[in-house]
Amino acid sequence: MRPIRRLLIANRGEIAVRVVRACRDLGIAPLAVYAPIDAGAPHVRLADDALPLSDDAPAASYLNGALLLDLARRAEADAIHPGYGFLAENPAFAAACEAAGITFVGPPSAVLARCGDKAAARSAAASAGVSVLPGSGPVGDDEAVRQATSVGFPVLIKAVGGGGGKGIHLVRSPEELPGALRRARGEAQTAFADPRVYLERLIERARHVEVQILADAAGVVVHLGERACSVQRRHQKLIEEAPAPDLSPELREALGRAAVAVARAIGYRNAGTIEFLVDRSGFYFIEVNARIQVEHPVTESVTGVDLVAAQLRLAGGERTPVRQDDVRWTGAALECRISAEDPHSGFLPSIGRIDGVVDPSGPGIRVDSGLWVGQQVLRHYDPLLAKVIASGPTREAAITRMGRALREFLISGVDTTIPFHLWALDQPEFVQGQYDIRFADAWNGGAAPPDAERLAVLAAAAWMFHRMATPALPTDGTAPRWVAAAREEGLR
């Protein structure tokens, strides 16, 4: 291993911006790649250099490992950071990097393969004395019927190469299985270039709790505490927090020990997350996420550890940045994932052009975003637009600050999930920290969308923001639609 000097960031959006910033802090030269649709993206502007990809389709761009490796060689990059999603947990891509003499910022390919083989990961967890859920290894369509009967309905179909909640389908009866298998395989192929799926028994009212780990090449494994990730819709996380509420000190300590034991049993290296389901009878290992998580900022907020910088240091051969006895947890933090979806219409994707953005700020507020005015939001990619992270000395203070921030946040041009998040923060179960993975099912559309007067005010704010960045606006009818709305209201 050697220190990283030039890093190719094989991703887009907010995580690409986040990696650029970590590179700046460490004196590493960040190199971006971009599909045509991302030519105006912040990560392209912020990097030292940006290399174009020829196609917007993920399979031909951010999932094209051979192309990304070729670009890394040509740019004389000595390392590649895959972010999350796309190729982040692909052992074949990690192996190709290793063969090319390019550092893959993540676990070695052999470890990725062990984590990706869910049956092997469950076996490793069981050998470490950690309880696991009944499930299967990768299954074919014919075998799935027999395995599902053995596991017991209801079952979840999960993508072997998955993560981020993609490729997961609930099946309650044998009749539902064939169609769900087809959908899950298609989603897995699109998102991870791997159509394999496996089965796992569903626990109806569990809580989803995960533990952040760091592991170095010398075999030292440290956990940085847990995160609660139970606010989900269609297996996609919407709100995360650290520390997880309503856990006894004994359970919290046991989860940390279990995560370290699983990581050691697998031979883990770099940053990763060990995921569990928690119910009244105890907790169960479900999988290892062998990458940086979308929700990593809440752990950074309560520990003060820069997890992306830790990834880069560990990939360069350094030891873990902290020892277990040195880890301290202070206060509380929440993260809301702001996505281009319409929560008033069943969370349908909202496609369009970003006309204006006004970020929230103030004490305890952080925004991780890859948004820019003029951005086209397409169906090609994950709908995540930005993440709002609120921290405070107590959980109550963090919740209050998050509510303030969400009311300040303006994204004009597409619908977003902000109304859902505001509803969630106001629910007694959430406020009291006593919610589970079915919490979001209670959402029924919430309040009506903002009225015309509020829309006019938001349009004016977006217009003012854009005027600060752009000296002149077109008057020939091609101006963004929020400009037209503002003009109709007489807001000059």
Give this prediction's pTM.
0.87
pLDDT at residue 380 above 90? no
Write the pLDDT tens digit of every residue in 348-379: 999 999 999 999 999 999 999 999 999 999 98
Active site residues: 291
DSSP class of residue 210? E
Q: For all residues of the chain together, what is the average pLDDT? A: 90
Amino acid at 89: E
pLDDT, residue 471, reads 42
pLDDT, residue 475, reads 44
The pLDDT of 148-177, averaged and rounded, is 86
What DSSP line would sit under 220-249, residue for residue?
-EEEEEEEEEEEEETTEEEEEEESPTT--H
The pLDDT of 456-462, averaged and rounded, is 51
Q: How many CB atoms lie within 10 A of CB 248?
A: 8
Write the pLDDT tens digit of every residue in 26-73: 999 999 999 999 999 999 999 999 999 999 999 999 999 999 999 999
Q: What distance in Å separates the CA atoms of residue 428 and residue 440, rounded to the nearest whole number?
A: 13
pLDDT, residue 481, reads 46
Percentage of residues of the chain with pLDDT beyond 70: 90
pLDDT at residue 97 above 70? yes
Tokens 């005010």 appear where? 457
Sign of CA dihedral 424, 274, 236, 435: negative
Write the pLDDT tens digit of every residue in 105-157: 999 999 999 998 877 898 999 999 999 988 888 899 989 989 999 999 999 99
Domains and CATH numbers, the chain: 6-105 (3.40.50.20), 134-201 (3.30.1490.20), 207-442 (3.30.470.20), 452-488 (no CATH)
Evaluate the omega torsion of the peptide bond into residue 249 and state whether it is cis, within 30 degrees of 0: no
